[in-house]
Amino acid sequence: MKKRLGPRELLYPMPAVFVVSAADGEVDVMAVAWIAIAGAKPPSVMMSVRSTRKTLELIERSGEFTVNTPSASMAAQLDFTGIVSGRTVTDKIGEAGLTAIPASVVGVPIIAECPHNLECRVARMLEHGDHTIVIGEIVETHVDESVLDETGGKPLADRIDPLVYIPTVREYRRLGEKVADAYSVGRRYLDGPAF
């Protein structure tokens, strides 16, 4: 039996990342869970930002932002940036004990402590209800060498140890164990039901 819950913004799993924005000398950071890859050519992200966020104002002014993936050990810092606004705390990055360092291509900083960072330029913005969907082209990617595999080309999720956000219970979790190989385990159904 299924129970109807009505129209609700539920999806599993959700990532939890820092989005840094900056314009005219002002810098802000906020926690974002409503974010995903939007395309490959060009590499792009899409995220949903409520119209009241200081972050949205700065992104509209500069046309740039960075996405910074925290490791699970940074849950408290991520949470802090999700419960206070840059409208009341002017140095959220510093208050969270984080370090802003210059990016390579965009004028918005990246967070040094995050093992994975994306530099993004706004490609388009779409107002939808109380949120604005921001599509950003990824113009550069940074990863800590310590999270790369032995060939040095592939970031390993276990080493990044990213945060997963569970909205219904407002919890942060870690990734679980491997289940199967993607683009592979489903092949058993290619010739019909795999009984």
Ligand X SMILES: Cc1cc2nc3c(=O)[nH]c(=O)nc-3n(C[C@H](O)[C@H](O)[C@H](O)COP(=O)(O)O)c2cc1C
The residue among 50 and 154 lying less far from ligand X, judged by its C-beta, is 50
Give just the sign of the alpha carbon dihedral 86, 111, 113, 38.
positive
Q: How many CA atoms lie within 13 A of 65 on its CB side?
A: 33
User: Pattern of binders to ligand X over 63-92, x per CB under 6 A?
Assistant: ----------------x--xxxxxx-----
Scanning 38-46, 53-61, 151-159, 175-183 for contacts with ligand X by CB under 6 A, the matching segment is 53-61
- Here the tokens at position 47 are 């995220």
Q: From the CB of residue 65, how many other CB atoms can be counted at a distance below 10 Å? A: 29
Minimal CB distance residue for ligand X: 82
Nearer to ligand X, 54 or 121 (CB): 54
The Cα 91–Cα 22 span in angstroms is: 12
Instruction: Report the chain's terminal Cα–Cα distance, integer Å.
Output: 25
Least distance between ligand X and beta carbon 140 (Å): 22
Q: Which residue in 20, 27, 31, 103 binds ligand X (CB under 6 A)?
A: 31
Q: Contact 119/66 with Cβ under 8 angstroms?
A: yes
Site for ligand X contains 49 (CB under 6 A) = yes
Considering only the C-alpha atoms of the chain, give the largest distance between any 2 of them, rounded to a whole number of Å: 62
| 17 makes contact with ligand X (CB under 6 A) | no
Q: Which residues bind ligand X (CB under 6 A)?
A: 16, 28, 30-34, 48-50, 53-55, 79, 82-87, 165
